[in-house]
């Protein structure tokens, strides 16, 4: 099984990114052939500073390594190094409906916050994301809940492509017989964690924790100092009553229970049982603060060491890009062949 996910380099990574995504990336290394991509091209779709973008790619590379990605067990690379992503994005535009892109939530939300320019890149963002995954014929995409709409579009794009452009020689295709008859693109499944798929802002638990839309005091960063983590969690907004249970009318407490469950490696039901004798929300917050500090402190320590050596980080990314390109270029040759772009592919490269 092949696993692929992408993460934006810009913005400081927070507990939502860690629980919703990065932890699944680490587990993915034991479950299949895993590829993880730092999506610098996606970051150019909104206002940004070029020098800051470069820096933030290194920051994120060091963070992902510190969190447990191991380049001998996964392929970690920078999107802009593998040109197949942008080529496939263009080719997939031919099977992507414009109206659907205009209706995507992220496009609608982000286009109102752009002051100077709503770029065409912002509209095409989901097509590039589809290309990221489809270029590797990945089966599974670990993401948080907020990526569900993008994953659905990606699956539709893959299906439409396979229908519109079958392999030459298959029943609905023209040209020379290729022999194997399989569909060209794999329709991927998302993998959204059962617990922690949507970590909420600690100051406004009706909104997701986020670097762009959230509050500073309600966002725990992976690299926050322990004292800052404790302060933010102890200052979390809770709900009326004092029962420590998950309930729709208790978004603040429910969020803290989920965070504690993930940090302790327990189920939310176990956490509720463990907290039955607590004196109130103060005890819950203290337990969450301890558990989150314990979970994040080792990452912070390793990060500081790894971030200091940019040459080593660049080597990891360059090596990852070479390995990624070897896979993506094979898909692109197939896609071009099916679409009639460029010369016919007479000699098929081995998979």
Selected binder of ligand TYM within 104, 143, 220, 230 (CB under 6 A): 143
With CB under 6 A as the contact rule, the residue among 67, 75, 141, 292 that binds ligand TYM is 141
DSSP string for residues in 62-108: HHHHHHT--TTTEEEEEGGG-THHHHHHHHHHTTS-HHHHHH-HHHH
Q: Closer to ligand TYM at the Cβ: 147 or 170?
A: 147
Contact 37, 5 (CB under 8 A): yes
Q: State the residue number with the nearest CB to ligand TYM.
A: 20
Q: Cβ of residue 200: shortest distance to ligand TYM, in angstroms?
A: 7
* Helix 281-307 and helix 310-339, axial crossing angle in degrees, nearest 10: 90
Selected binder of ligand TYM within 155, 208, 285, 300 (CB under 6 A): 208
User: Could you say which of 45, 56, 96, 147 contacts ligand TYM (CB under 6 A)?
Assistant: 147
Q: Does 129 bind ligand TYM (CB under 6 A)?
A: yes
Asked if residue 201 lies in contact with residue 209, where contact means CB atoms within 8 angstroms, the answer is: yes
Q: How far is the CB of 271 from ligand TYM (least distance, A)?
A: 18
**Looking at 146-154, 243-251, 298-306, 312-320, which segment touches ligand TYM (CB under 6 A)?**
146-154
**Region from 2-10, 49-57, 255-263, 296-304 binding ligand TYM, contact rule CB under 6 A:** 2-10
Please report whether residue 59 would count as binding ligand TYM according to CB under 6 A. no
- The two tokens of residue 41 are 């091209």
The helix-helix angle for 148-164 and 120-134 (nearest 10°) equals 70
C-alpha to C-alpha distances, 13 to 44, 223, 240, nearest whole angstrom: 18, 8, 30
Q: Is 66 in the site for ligand TYM (CB under 6 A)?
A: no
Phi, psi angles (nearest 5°) of residue 238: -115, -165
Q: Assign residue 169 a region: left if phi > 0, alpha if psi is -120 to 50, beta otherwise?
A: left
Q: Is 61 exposed, middle or buried (0-12, 13-18, 19+ CB in 10 A)?
A: buried
38 contacts ligand TYM (rule: CB under 6 A): no
Residue 39 in contact with ligand TYM, rule: CB under 6 A: yes
For ligand TYM, the binding residues (CB under 6 A) are 5-8, 16-17, 19-21, 39, 42, 129, 132-133, 141, 143-144, 146-147, 150, 197-199, 208-210
């Amino acid at each position: 099984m092949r696993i692929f996910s992408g993460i934006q380099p810009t913005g400081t990574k927070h507990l939502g990114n860690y629980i919703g995504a990065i932890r699944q990336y680490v587990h993915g290394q034991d479950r299949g052939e895993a590829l993880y991509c730092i999506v610098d091209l996606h970051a150019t779709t909104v206002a940004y500073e070029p020098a800051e973008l470069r820096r933030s790619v290194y920051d994120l590379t060091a963070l992902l390594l510190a969190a447990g990605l191991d380049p001998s067990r996964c392929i970690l690379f920078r999107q802009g190094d593998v040109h197949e992503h942008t080529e496939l994005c263009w080719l997939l535009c031919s099977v992507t409906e414009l109206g659907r892109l205009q209706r995507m939530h992220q496009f609608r939300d982000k286009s109102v916050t752009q002051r100077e320019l709503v770029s065409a890149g912002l509209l095409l963002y989901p097509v590039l994301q589809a290309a990221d995954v489809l270029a590797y014929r990945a089966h599974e995409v670990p993401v948080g809940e907020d990526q569900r709409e993008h994953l659905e579009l990606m699956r539709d794009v893959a299906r439409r492509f396979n229908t519109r452009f079958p392999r030459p020689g298959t029943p609905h295709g023209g040209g020379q017989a290729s022999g194997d008859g399989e569909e060209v693109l794999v329709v991927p499944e998302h993998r959204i964690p059962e617990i922690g798929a949507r970590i909420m802002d600690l100051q406004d638990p009706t909104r997701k924790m986020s670097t762009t839309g959230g509050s500073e005091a309600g966002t725990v960063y992976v690299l926050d100092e322990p004292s800052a983590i404790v302060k933010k969690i102890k200052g979390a907004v809770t709900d009326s009553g004092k029962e420590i249970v998950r309930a729709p009318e208790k978004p603040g407490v429910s969020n803290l229970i989920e965070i504690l469950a993930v940090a302790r490696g327990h189920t939310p039901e176990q956490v509720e049982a463990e907290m039955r004798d607590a004196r109130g929300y103060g005890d819950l917050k203290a337990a969450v603060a301890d558990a989150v500090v314990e979970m994040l402190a080792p990452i912070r320590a390793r990060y500081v060491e790894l971030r200091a050596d940019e040459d080593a980080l660049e080597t990891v990314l360059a090596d990852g890009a070479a390995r990624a390109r070897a896979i993506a270029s094979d898909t692109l040759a197939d896609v071009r062949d099916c679409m009639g772009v460029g010369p016919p592919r007479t000699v098929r490269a081995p998979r």
